């Protein structure tokens, strides 16, 4: 199982046995990621850690326009 305290700042997903983290577009921030693994006998292990994501932007932003003739 996977929990993410701040999906607006960090995208967290499990892909098979891999944990993939990436920043989401926006102001960034911190998130606590918690992973719980269990086996067929019902034993569980949980681990939490904090991730900081930088501010990112979804693409280029037009600030001004110039024309030349």
In this prediction, residue 60 carries a pLDDT of: 59
Residue with tokens 């911190």: 30
Q: Which residues sit opposite 14 in a β-bridge? A: 19
What single-letter DSSP state applies at residue 62?
-
Over the Cα atoms of the chain, what is R_g?
A: 19
pLDDT digits (tens, 9 = 90+) for 22-65: 999 888 899 999 999 999 999 999 999 999 998 887 665 666 65
Count the residues in the chain.
69
d(CA 45, CA 37) in angstroms, rounded, equals 5
Look at residue 69 and tell me whether its pLDDT is greater than 70: no
Token pair in block for residue 68 = 């030349």
Residue 2 banded pLDDT, cuts 50, 70, 90: very high
Average pLDDT of the residues of the chain: 87
d(CA 21, CA 51) in angstroms, rounded, equals 9
């Amino acid at each position: 199982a996977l929990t993410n305290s701040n999906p607006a700042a960090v995208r967290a997903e499990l892909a098979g046995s891999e944990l993939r983290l990436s920043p989401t577009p926006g102001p960034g921030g911190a998130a606590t990621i918690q992973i719980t693994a269990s086996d067929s006998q019902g034993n569980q292990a949980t681990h939490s850690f904090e991730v900081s994501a930088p501010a990112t932007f979804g693409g280029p932003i037009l600030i001004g326009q110039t024309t030349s003739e």
